[in-house]
Structure 1
């Protein structure tokens, strides 16, 4: 009886550790999202597949391979990749900005590696930091450091600046995928492509063991620009 109790406690602890990070660590899980425009119309469906689960010492890593299918458009499929890690204190996510262009160039996805990524980053003159971090036990009102990056895409210089970021506390979010206890984050995102710039107030909700559950972006006049919702999880 004592042995069974000890095994039960060990299992509970293992589950707690596995879900301490703000991303999924179950290989093959699919996270389904719907992206909406400013009037609430669905504009694309996005599926993130969890792969490459890896434990390195106290750090666990995972990759989210995203396929985005845009409605009512030709050549409507695009791809991107998010790499996650958790060291026991911080969850870090970095979008691999080169994965999409690599796939779009009709290159073999199985041959995409660090050498190919670094070459493409150099060709596109990438500079800066496009990662973001979610701290364990972050308190509402706690600020998050600014970050920025730039690169050449489609022959045009793209610049992105993230500022005024802060944790907004915890909040429960309900979607078609279920009910989630989330950390809420808000920040200003300014994008500039050559001479055209745009500023949005972005708010995001992340759940442990899942990742992004909900995202909303409003312009400087308070008008909705876009929204993303998690609608289904397939394991």
Structure 2
């Protein structure tokens, strides 16, 4: 369960790149009952599972929009893990309430383990352009696992750059995208790894595709938008 919790957190952190600015820009439809599904694949293109998202409880007050993102993660064996978290769009910046991830359901799944989550948001400007450099971001997870054992995980997204524009087709449709390159640096216990990735981002949709690579640039895993209901 601890491993799947980390996968859920990393899924939120990845999606944050597509929810950044939400209704404050044209990159994501922050509207009640909008839902979308991503299918995850391994390096050989074999399906590894799915992640479903649904936008609920959208509220507007002046220039601020708040909503709840409901997330369901289904592994290749059909086992399901769910969570939800709050997001706020204020002007040109979206923030995610990481504390809201510690909802009653998630806490019951984690047992007696205590944890603290903090970080800085992934940001996207309203107007992307090829060659543009984007701000870094990070996520820190501190876990108290009992017996005096603590596990700290730090996930950084660095070297973000808009590489090109490209049209791609998925089961959800055909989308004109900006391709954003970044590197994810993960520090956990004695492990320190950095992996490159690319994200295809479409206006009015968010993330359409994502690929992760090893240090040699070979594909390790990918995610694809396979359903979209607006």
Alignment TM-score, normalising by the size of structure 1: 0.73
**Deviation (angstroms), 1:175:** 0.4
Q: Structure 1's 171 and 58: CA in aligned 2 closer, same or farther, altered over 3 A?
A: farther
Aligned to 1:78, which of 77, 81, 102?
81
**Deviation (angstroms), 1:217:** 0.6
Distance 2:44 2:115 in 1: 34
Contact 2:172-2:228 within 8 A present in 1 as well: yes
Looking at CA atoms only, which structure, 1 or 2, has the larger radius of gyration? 1
Q: Structure 1's 214 and 91: CA in aligned 2 closer, same or farther, altered over 3 A?
A: farther
Aligned to 2:211, which of 216, 219, 223?
216
Residue equivalent to 1:6: none
Contact 1:167-1:185 within 8 A present in 2 as well: yes
Distance 2:117 2:44 in 1: 34
Structure-to-structure mapping, 1:98-113, within 5 angstroms: 99=101, 102-106=104-108
Structure-to-structure mapping, 1:1-235, within 5 angstroms: 20-72=25-77, 76-81=79-84, 83-87=86-90, 90=92, 92=94, 94=96, 96=98, 99=101, 102-106=104-108, 123-129=114-120, 131-153=121-143, 155=145, 156-235=151-230
Residue equivalent to 1:115: none
Equivalent pairs counted in the alignment come to: 201
Q: Structure 1's 230 and 202: CA in aligned 2 closer, same or farther, altered over 3 A?
A: same
Alignment TM-score, normalising by the size of structure 2: 0.75
Distance 1:97 1:167 in 2: 31
Listed as ranges, the gaps of 5+ residues in structure 1 are 1-16, 108-119
Listed as ranges, the gaps of 5+ residues in structure 2 are 1-21, 146-150
What RMSD over aligned residues (CA atoms) do the two structures have, in Å?
Answer: 2.8
Contact 1:203-1:215 within 8 A present in 2 as well: yes
Distance 1:99 1:188 in 2: 24
- Say which SS state the counterpart of residue 126 (structure 1) adopts: strand
